[in-house]
Amino acid sequence: MCNSLGKIFNVTSFGESHGRCVGIVITGCPAGLPVSEKDIQTELDKRKPGKNIASTRRAEEDKVDILSGIFKGHTTGAPICLVIWNQDVDSTSYEKTRALLRPGHADFTSFVKYGGFNDYRGGGRSSGRITAGFVMAGVIARKLLDTIGIEILAHTVEISGIRATAAGLAAIRKIDDNPLKCADTSATEKMLKALEKVRKEGDSLGGIVEGLALNVPAGLGGPVFDTLEGDLAKALFAIPAVKGVEFGAGFAVSKMKGSENNDPFIIKRGKIITETNNSGGILGGISNGMPMVVRVAIKPTPSISRKQQTVNIETMKEESLEVKGRHDVCIVPRAVPVVSAMIAVTLCDYALAAKLIPEVLK
Amino acid sequence: MCNSLGKIFNVTSFGESHGRCVGIVITGCPAGLPVSEKDIQTELDKRKPGKNIASTRRAEEDKVDILSGIFKGHTTGAPICLVIWNQDVDSTSYEKTRALLRPGHADFTSFVKYGGFNDYRGGGRSSGRITAGFVMAGVIARKLLDTIGIEILAHTVEISGIRATAAGLAAIRKIDDNPLKCADTSATEKMLKALEKVRKEGDSLGGIVEGLALNVPAGLGGPVFDTLEGDLAKALFAIPAVKGVEFGAGFAVSKMKGSENNDPFIIKRGKIITETNNSGGILGGISNGMPMVVRVAIKPTPSISRKQQTVNIETMKEESLEVKGRHDVCIVPRAVPVVSAMIAVTLCDYALAAKLIPEVLK
Amino acid sequence: MCNSLGKIFNVTSFGESHGRCVGIVITGCPAGLPVSEKDIQTELDKRKPGKNIASTRRAEEDKVDILSGIFKGHTTGAPICLVIWNQDVDSTSYEKTRALLRPGHADFTSFVKYGGFNDYRGGGRSSGRITAGFVMAGVIARKLLDTIGIEILAHTVEISGIRATAAGLAAIRKIDDNPLKCADTSATEKMLKALEKVRKEGDSLGGIVEGLALNVPAGLGGPVFDTLEGDLAKALFAIPAVKGVEFGAGFAVSKMKGSENNDPFIIKRGKIITETNNSGGILGGISNGMPMVVRVAIKPTPSISRKQQTVNIETMKEESLEVKGRHDVCIVPRAVPVVSAMIAVTLCDYALAAKLIPEVLK
Amino acid sequence: MCNSLGKIFNVTSFGESHGRCVGIVITGCPAGLPVSEKDIQTELDKRKPGKNIASTRRAEEDKVDILSGIFKGHTTGAPICLVIWNQDVDSTSYEKTRALLRPGHADFTSFVKYGGFNDYRGGGRSSGRITAGFVMAGVIARKLLDTIGIEILAHTVEISGIRATAAGLAAIRKIDDNPLKCADTSATEKMLKALEKVRKEGDSLGGIVEGLALNVPAGLGGPVFDTLEGDLAKALFAIPAVKGVEFGAGFAVSKMKGSENNDPFIIKRGKIITETNNSGGILGGISNGMPMVVRVAIKPTPSISRKQQTVNIETMKEESLEVKGRHDVCIVPRAVPVVSAMIAVTLCDYALAAKLIPEVLK
């Protein structure tokens, strides 16, 4: 019940951080979409730890392996199973400290839910590594959205309270050149300094990622339960560490008047648009043709080497814990391609439901 | 596809603001739960416009009518259909201005999606009135949760940037006595003044509602796609005007270090709890036994009597519009019982999935 | 979980035989379909007891009442709620004999499942009366299918072992003129005699209904789990009293050789068709463009006035029972429009999934 | 949309006959169930071609490979991904004749549905080989059902019109010793002779498999849409070549009177049971505690070496075709474990929904 998402473009996740592999099965993908391993690898590589201060040093190759659904370079309409095999797995440290509940992690809640049968190594099913599957599904989704001109972008807009200034689309399209996937180079400098400082303290930092969807036609989504905001939020909360999701003006609406927040309708080049975009491109749960704007709050990496108070679940005694191993000081930059992927997966499902993409692509 | 929510405790919404009725069908409710019309009416009445400055003056009685699923005062296990019949309907003004797209409303997006066939009167399916059905479903959900000791609360924590100070549970349990459903009486004074001022300007205000779930046992939810945060967010975004959802520390995590945000595990009365609750009671998508805390950003009522810029969709000309009629200056207090209802509906689904509630209650 | 059917064109059933009403909520219907109460009433009337030997004498008017989703004579894209109010309800006999489990009915299984809280009057949720909702949903589905030229037919092909000879489409299209909805008038004579005889004995008879779908384009359905046969069968087993479903040659395949059963492909008027139709229009779970043919076995009405052996569930003693009241000697003719309806509902869901019908009809 | 089955115990199929692998992802399996590769292999081997006249000679090893969800010999509660790698693949003949539509196969319908992008080699997604995944899922389902005492059996009851006499449970439990998985040894002799004759003619034969579920407690299932019959039928029609499904007396009800078909209730050892079992253990869509009995009609293998009339889809000309390669003269015996598997998967989903199996097994 917990591992599938989407009504038509449906993705099912499987695999564990330190098991055989991490994988995804995608059903509902139209036939005839050209897909190569390289397409998927390029995007997967964006999720890999960088060479900067923010990232872990786990040295996985993360090579995609296509198990089904693609034949002669095209999707067949059958389920697409994609996996990456786990290779650089060292579970020793997890075996030693497995009874010590890591604060901020799912160790305790998984233990309770699964009665201790869960694969605890590397966080198991709750590991950020699971999002490699999301990224692979996102590649297929983006290629489908590309056939109807929809473009998905995401970028880092805040780390440690340092806010990037509003950036143009041109800059956002180039964020893969930036070590923190941030379009504001001067904010990036400050963020890097904050990260360096916190790394030395054995601590970690959180931030905010913004996602954008451009050229989404008006009319996607619906009122009541399957709102565009609702399904996007659900997909985004699947990313471990996400604690908030807001659209357009977001939480700032609580400080605005209706006359400030309402986006006036105007006509531009014969088309109805809104003059401002406080709605974030969604009105009444339905896209209005303006850029979709969503922001996602990402908590500081819970794995820190500083000493923390915790409980040993076997002895039921309080103990202290220092989490060793390779960890990201800040997960935000690596979350950027995952945010894109989850937006793409959700919009692709809606675009298929709205019959914007045919059953067979030619 | 858009009108049902929940996997086991499933609710389907139907009806329009100015049609025959607003209704809900609830399936998956265990048999044997005592339910009376009065139970439902009491909660419905909390959603009714108040006698204060914040509210509309539409004078609906909003009497619940039980059409199925309840027999001899108990649920039967069959679908429960509940409706309220629309009576105080005056659609004249909507007929006159139907071609003028109201900014901040779903008029434009509904027109595009449904090709002009949608019932536009009073906002039709996108009206806040639809949430009366949510509240009715919430009553059933809360009664089920009550059998396992789970309590759901909600209260106004911000209007127009005026933040209520943190309140104790005792105060929050009494918010129905407060005109703005706010547990901080001194903040309430300031909010009422702000509302009075804005009402005179023909404008409106937004705010934030906080929801709480107490005594949720650890282990509800799961990793990956059906996270507790994801499904709660999806349910909460179904409430018209919601533009943001955050859990625990929420967007503030972006300014915190891991050592500040991680909640240390401790033992209290033989039970593992966390010392702080930045997680909002959810770790890795699974409840950890701490109080669940969620905040919801609600935009200012889009219907304002101030002149606004818009487009006439029939003539495709720009025009100005003043929205007449009875409108809430601030929807926040009336959203409070709806937020409770959506939390209850979601947790009830999870509690049934986790087999905490039996198929037959005795 | 038990009361909804369909992925895109979704129907949710509610109501009880002797409660307030029997109803259906239809979601996923495109906007812009002209629907009148008369359209629905005409089909509902076909399900009413006839004036012949086969039928009950319950004198319900069964007038459809449209509660939502239709505005200015067209579907709006919002959920369509349709009810018939129960009026001719006499539950006295059920109160008297409620503890006596009627053989062949759901009394025992419902009692166990719902712990005795189920509405037992008139069979409650398990009553054939619930299928009035199916028929109403079927009307909407058929009107949608009609826009793409698909025609659904059903007719009685066997009662009491008396098999009707194969009939032409012209005859099948006129079965509403036949008291048993059978296209073979000479078989009808024999069936009526058998019914008359059995009625006098206080007994009942079963039979077989055949359903047809014409002009279904090739390519609907799919391999693996959501096969056309699987979903049609699931929908047809929702009709109380159905105990078997077969397609094309059906159970006779067990007596055939591959060379007899395989339908040779030929070209006719530039189109690929099959020379025979043992597949019943479905190959590999996908429609092949030939007429779809399905047959449904319907058991004899379990309510018979002959003395039967049973158990009193309160005293846990064996007793005998004579079921009094108005009952159909044979439900087969009244099942005919229900079979059509379920085929229509299923194919409509598939046609929408295959994007054969647009989101807005103009 | 087409590749998943089940609401709680959910299985998603992937893979192709001549692709990399055939696989299944199972979600919703409780944690703590002991599962070994050997458990799965034992059942998979039953589906392998036998050494008798009925079977193909494709020499796949069909070794299960566990990719996720099992840790330290137990299920973890996470998705279980199981694959068998394709090895003995010779696609040459398929490349040569790919444009010739094989009668009785899904070549034509798949071509139309997927626009020619489908993997046609060995029947691709429509191959009987896909059912190896069903069998693997069935093993997990049966082990879960075993914890509550439910036993699933299946056996061949008819081939080529030769009907096996009714067999006792002891004989049915031993059918793996019989070359045709038939409990009647004298009927087996006749069936083998018929098979030998037809094999020489280059033709094939169909038959009937009966499935049984023992010790199913009363109360599983429900009225209206998710009936036990409906979901079992849907699952069984997922098996390629199934053209009919019937329960209990099945199609024979059309020749019975109510007094013959109704199963009288009696008390035996303090428990309510029925004296006969024409209902096949299901009344009103709900299990009644009697043995569940279902029969499945399986068409003759469509691949025959006799010359057949068909169409070349590239030239759109009529041609003749002789299907070469390794094919089963009769698929019925190999379908027996698949029928068991699909019954197990369906009942497991219902047992979990009814909370008969806990979330964690200890």
In 3D space, the residue among A33, A137, A36 whose CA is nearest the CA of residue A75 turns out to be A33
Highest average pLDDT, of C203-217, C313-327, D94-108, comes from C203-217
| Residue of chain C with shortest Cα separation from D267 | C318
C-alpha A54/C-alpha A44 separation (Å) is 18
pLDDT for residue C209 is more than 90? yes
Closest CB from C8, C355, C359 relative to A358 = C355
In a domain, D329, yes or no: yes
Note the pLDDT of residue B52.
65
- Residue D286 belongs to what H/E stretch? strand D286-287
**What is the share, in percent, of chain B residues with pLDDT greater than 90?**
88
In a domain, B358, yes or no: no
Note the pLDDT of residue B2.
79
Note the pLDDT of residue B323.
81
Contact B2 A223 (CB under 8 A): yes
Contact B258 A303 (CB under 8 A): yes
Q: Is the pTM of this model over 0.90?
A: yes
Res. A349 pLDDT band, cuts 50 70 90:
very high
Residue that is written with structure tokens 């192709």 in the block: D16
pLDDT for residue A217 is more than 90? yes
pLDDT for residue B58 is more than 70? no
C213-235 average pLDDT score: 96
Q: Which residues of A touch C12 (CB under 8 A)?
A: none
The answer to whether D154 touches D209, Cβ cutoff 8 Å, is yes
C-alpha A181/C-alpha A172 separation (Å) is 9
User: By CB neighbour count within 10 A (0-12 exposed, 13-18 middle, 19+ buried), where does C2 fall?
Assistant: buried
Provide the b/e sequence for C238-260 (b: ≥16 CB within 10 Å).
bbbbbbbbbbbbbbbbbbbbbbb
Distance to chain C for D82, nearest Cα, Å: 17
pLDDT tens-digit readout, C311-356: 999 999 999 998 877 788 999 999 999 999 999 999 999 999 999 9
Which of B269, B283, B311, B349 should we substitute to test contact with A (largest number of A Cβ atoms within 10 Å)?
A: B283
pLDDT for residue A207 is more than 60? yes
| Residue of chain C with shortest Cα separation from D313 | C272
Contact A106 B300 (CB under 8 A): no
In a domain, B359, yes or no: no
Q: Which residues of B touch A308 (CB under 8 A)?
A: 259, 262, 264
> Coil, strand or helix: which one is C250?
helix
Residue that is written with structure tokens 């990402």 in the block: A298
Residue that is written with structure tokens 């166990």 in the block: C112
Return the partners of chain A (3 or more C-beta pairs < 8 Å): B, C, D
Which CATH number covers residue C270?
3.60.150.10
Contact B67 C362 (CB under 8 A): no
Using left for φ > 0, alpha for ψ between -120 and 50, and beta otherwise, residue D115 falls in left
Return the partners of chain D (3 or more C-beta pairs < 8 Å): A, B, C
pLDDT tens-digit readout, B182-205: 999 999 999 999 999 999 999 999
Distance to chain A for D191, nearest Cα, Å: 37
In a domain, C361, yes or no: no
Using left for φ > 0, alpha for ψ between -120 and 50, and beta otherwise, residue B21 falls in beta
pLDDT for residue A135 is more than 90? yes
Which of C56, C125, C262, C339 should we substitute to test contact with D (largest number of D Cβ atoms within 10 Å)?
A: C262
Higher pLDDT, B53 or B163: B163
> Which residue segment(s) compose the domain that D114 sits in?
4-353
A215-235 average pLDDT score: 96
Note the pLDDT of residue C112.
96
What are the angstrom distances between the C-alpha of B89 and each of B328, D59, D97?
Answer: 17, 73, 68
Minimum mean pLDDT range among A178-192, A234-248, C256-270, D323-337 = D323-337
pLDDT tens-digit readout, A229-260: 999 999 999 999 999 999 999 999 999 999 99
C9-13 average pLDDT score: 97
pLDDT tens-digit readout, D168-214: 999 999 999 999 999 999 999 999 999 999 999 999 999 999 999 99
Take residue D219 and report the two structure tokens written for it: 């109360």
- DSSP 8-state class, residue B291: P
Note the pLDDT of residue C174.
96
pLDDT for residue A58 is more than 60? no
Note the pLDDT of residue A59.
62
Pairing of strands B207-214, B80-85: unpaired
Contact A31 D114 (CB under 8 A): yes
The answer to whether A146 touches A340, Cβ cutoff 8 Å, is no
**Number of folded domains that form chain B:** 1
Radius of gyration over every alpha carbon of chain C, rounded to an integer in angstroms: 21
Contact B109 A284 (CB under 8 A): yes
Which of B3, B10, B66, B107 should we substitute to test contact with C (largest number of C Cβ atoms within 10 Å)?
A: B3
Q: Which residues of C touch B19 (CB under 8 A)?
A: 67-68, 71
D106-113 average pLDDT score: 96
Take residue A170 and report the two structure tokens written for it: 């041109």
In a domain, B46, yes or no: yes
Average pLDDT of chain D? 94
Res. C94 pLDDT band, cuts 50 70 90:
confident
In a domain, D111, yes or no: yes
pLDDT for residue B60 is more than 70? no
| Residue of chain B with shortest Cα separation from C18 | B68
Note the pLDDT of residue A91.
76
pLDDT for residue A47 is more than 90? no
pLDDT for residue D335 is more than 90? yes
Note the pLDDT of residue C1.
56
Take residue C91 and report the two structure tokens written for it: 């539950």
- The angle that helices A228-236 and B228-236 make with each other, rounded to 10 degrees, is 170
Contacting D with CB below 8 Å, chain B residues are 7-8, 353-355, 358-359
pLDDT for residue C305 is more than 80? yes
Max intra-chain CA distance, chain C? 71
In a domain, B360, yes or no: no
> Coil, strand or helix: which one is B113?
helix
Note the pLDDT of residue C91.
76
In a domain, A358, yes or no: no
pLDDT for residue C62 is more than 60? yes
Distance to chain D for B355, nearest Cα, Å: 6
D125-145 average pLDDT score: 96
Contact C359 A354 (CB under 8 A): yes
Note the pLDDT of residue D59.
62
pLDDT for residue C32 is more than 80? yes
ipTM: 0.96
Contact B68 C32 (CB under 8 A): no
| Residue of chain C with shortest Cα separation from D194 | C257
Distance to chain B for D355, nearest Cα, Å: 6
pLDDT for residue D1 is more than 60? no
